[in-house]
Amino acid sequence: MNIAYLLFWFILYSVILSISGFIAGWIDRKITARVQWRVGPPWYQNFVDFIKLTGKEVLIPEGGNKFIFVFSPVLGLIAAFCVGTILFFVFREGFGFSGDIILIVYLLTIPSLSIILGGSSSGNVLASVGISRELKLLLSYELPFICGIVIPALKANSTTSLIEIIKFQQMNGSNILSLSGIIGFIVILIASTGKLGVVPFDLSEAETEIAGGSLIEYSGILLGFYKLTKSILLVIVPLFIVLLYLGGTEITGFGSFLIFVLKYLIVLILITLIRNTNPRLRIDQALKFFWGWLTLIGIIGILITLMGF
Amino acid sequence: MSLKIKALKKSLWVYHVSTGSCNNCDIEILDLLTPRFDVERFGIILAGSPRHADVLLCTGIVNKKCVERVKEVYEQTPKPCVVVAVGACACSGGIFRHGYQMAGPLDKIIPVHVYIPGCPPKPEAIIAGIVKFLKELK
């Protein structure tokens, strides 16, 4: 594989990811609207939002660090594109390497880190409250998220390659069909709501209390990049869960592709329903929840996996 | 019409500025953003910060304390943006126009694009005003 070939697929997958991200964002908003008994926005709403943001003026605060302020949204976006490209390569071409799960876990933290960088470079007081919450949240949800990743890795004979886990599931049935699989699925699903920053854990940009939090000073195309990163995370995190737990990604024809999309939609709808039926938690409650109950359940899941259920 | 303006018309993010109102228009604006009227079907959502906003919904006479703040919020809003004066006070001063604290009305301080009179205007009236403006916008 030469560089030009990889670059071509990277750009193509980035475009596909952006489009599917906007559509996933629309599905999220539409389901929210239906839960609240409203009509909801039209399907092209997120595309229009992004085009509008590209046309707006970009304001850079005087008290901040200009280079980091402009650079950090781009950093988060590129990390999200990278994770998406790795996942697409895994399920389209069966291309993977030993340890790619660890790489994905690291790359998935970069969007959160870019929010922290951008917020701290803006020099706003409310943004500093937002980034302190984002940092604590990042520390808290990583532990149960990793517990949720360790369970399928242990089940597939202690491998760290995503493609090995998928092959194991194709031979022995999906991971979710066992007891430890169900526990792991619940843990990683709840931890991923923290990663996506949707409502029970959206305290870093709580619009009603700290007015947009870490994104408060962003406007125009830079805000658009952050919105795009959030949309892409809404694609890749459920996709990652589907690959780890719901298995069966061998796309041979239209039928199997449809089943794959259906699996993805189930995970997305579950996340949306969690978001719609829960109020926002305080940061101390979120920490207690992630480090207390969820990690405990995750460790019990790992023990059950080691016992072989 | 450029693509920029076309997209702006479909996705208006609202920031609510109270420039010393009696809270009457503010309650109607909050009513407007509830699921009953569902303005999200036109792409209208409430933004937390003026940096994210496309529309400034201003209520109340601009009193002397608020002049600097209103100017600052207007300067912090990325252009192109739309300023809407909601209620009789923001449009003309209403019953407070001879008051000692009066520094407005709003169009003396910042450029205003849409006037929605009423004390207070109903949510339906606010929607009708915005829709009429969007039809005229080029």
- 3-state SS of A162-201? HHHHHHHHHHHCCHHHCHHHHHHHHHHHHHHHHHHCCHHH
Domain B3-136 in CATH 3.40.50.300? The answer is no
Contact A56 B78 (CB under 8 A): yes
Look at the block and give the residue holding tokens 């369970």: A151
Search chain B and give the residue with CA nearest A220.
Answer: B78
R_g over Cα of chain A:
19
State mean pLDDT over A6-25: 86
Residue-level pLDDT at A248: 59
- 3-state SS of A16-68? HHHHHHHHHHHHHHHHHHHHCCCCCCCCCHHHHHHHHHHHCCCCCCCCCCHHH
Contact A40 B40 (CB under 8 A): yes
- pLDDT of residue B1 exceeding 70, the answer is no
Residue A215 with chain B: CB contacts under 8 Å: 49, 52
Confidence of residue A172 (pLDDT cuts 50, 70, 90): confident
Q: What is the pLDDT of residues A96-155, one digit of tens each?
A: 777 788 888 888 899 888 988 888 888 788 888 888 888 888 888 888 999 888 888 888
pTM to 2 decimal places = 0.87
Query: For chain A, how many structural domains are there in total?
Result: 1
Confidence of residue A252 (pLDDT cuts 50, 70, 90): low
Residues 6+ apart with CB under 8 A from A185: A148, A175, A176, A241, A245
Domains in chain B: boundaries:
3-136
R_g over Cα of chain B:
14
**Token digits for B65?**
């304390």
- pLDDT of residue A208 exceeding 80, the answer is no
Confidence of residue A184 (pLDDT cuts 50, 70, 90): confident
Confidence of residue A165 (pLDDT cuts 50, 70, 90): confident
Please provide the average confidence, as pLDDT, over all residues in chain B.
85
Nearest to A85, CA basis, from A18, A167, A160, A9: A9
State mean pLDDT over B96-102: 84
ipTM above threshold 0.95: no
Nearest to A212 among B41, B48, B79 (CB): B48
- pLDDT of residue A308 exceeding 80, the answer is no
Residue B16 with chain A: CB contacts under 8 Å: none
Across the beta sheet with B45-46, the strand order is B45-46, B13-18, B55-59, B82-86, B114-116
End-to-end CA distance of chain A: 40
Nearest to A52 among B7, B38, B40 (CB): B7
CB of B28 closer than 8 Å to CB of B116: no
The verdict on residue A168 lying in a domain is yes
Contact A38 B38 (CB under 8 A): yes
The DSSP symbol for A213 reads G
Residue-level pLDDT at A249: 59
Residue-level pLDDT at A100: 84
Contact B8 A52 (CB under 8 A): yes
**In what helix (H) or strand (E) does residue B25 lie, and over which residues does it extend?**
helix B24-32
Residue-level pLDDT at A93: 67
- pLDDT of residue A209 exceeding 80, the answer is no
User: What are the strands, taking DSSP E only, across B60-137?
Assistant: 82-86, 114-116
- pLDDT of residue A173 exceeding 80, the answer is no
Domain that holds residue A165: 3-19+53-307
The verdict on residue A111 lying in a domain is yes
The verdict on residue A34 lying in a domain is no
Look at the block and give the residue holding tokens 């009789």: B88
Residue A42 with chain B: CB contacts under 8 Å: 41, 43
DSSP-assigned beta bridge partners for residue B84: B57, B114
Residues 6+ apart with CB under 8 A from A11: none
- What is the spatial distance between Cα A234 and Cα A22, in angstroms, rounded to a whole number? 9
Residue-level pLDDT at A158: 77
Search chain B and give the residue with CA nearest A54.
Answer: B4
Residue-level pLDDT at B47: 84
Q: Which residues of B touch A (CB under 8 A)?
A: 2-4, 7-8, 10-11, 35, 38, 40-41, 43, 46-49, 51-52, 54, 76, 78-80
